[in-house]
Amino acid sequence: MLENKALRNIPEGGLELPADLQFLDKTAILWPLNPDGAAIEIAKKMHELLGTKIAVVIGYADNCPLKNIEYRRIDAKETLFFGYPKSSAIEKTRGFTASIDLSPIFELKLSGLPAIAGIPLRLGRDASKSGDFYNIILTSGSGAEIETLIGAMKK
- As to burial, measured by CB atoms within 10 angstroms (0-12 exposed, 13-18 middle, 19+ buried), residue 37 is exposed
Does the residue 1 lie in any domain?
yes
Q: Which residue has the higher pLDDT, 48 or 55?
A: 55
More confident residue, 42 or 149: 42
Out of 20-24, 88-92, 127-131, give the one with best mean pLDDT.
Answer: 88-92
- 111, 137 Cβ separation under 8 angstroms: no
Q: How far is CA 133 from the centre of its chain?
A: 10
**138 or 134, which is more confident:** 134
Domain count of the fold of the chain = 1
Q: Counting every residue, how long is the chain?
A: 155
Task: Identify which has the larger pLDDT, 49 or 155.
Answer: 49
Average pLDDT on 2-28 reads 56
Half-sphere exposure of 135 toward its Cβ, with a 13 Å CA cutoff?
Answer: 25
Residue 125: inside a domain: yes
What proportion of the chain, given as a percentage, has pLDDT over 70?
A: 73
pLDDT of residue 56: 93
Q: Is residue 132 part of a domain?
A: yes
φ/ψ bin of 15: left (φ > 0), alpha (ψ from -120 to 50), beta (otherwise)? beta
Residue 138 within a domain? yes
d(Cα 101, Cα 96) in Å, to the nearest integer? 13
Instruction: Note whether residue 66 is domain-resident.
Output: yes
Note the pLDDT tens digit of each residue in 82-116: 778 889 999 999 999 889 999 888 888 888 899 88
Domain carrying residue 2: 1-7+30-76+115-155
Q: What pLDDT, on a 0 to 100 scale, did the predictor assign at position 154?
A: 61
Residue 100 lies in a domain: no
pTM for this model (two decimals): 0.79
Top pLDDT among 73 and 148 is at: 73
The more confident residue out of 142 and 49 is: 49
Residue 65 has a CB neighbour count (10 Å cut-off) of 20
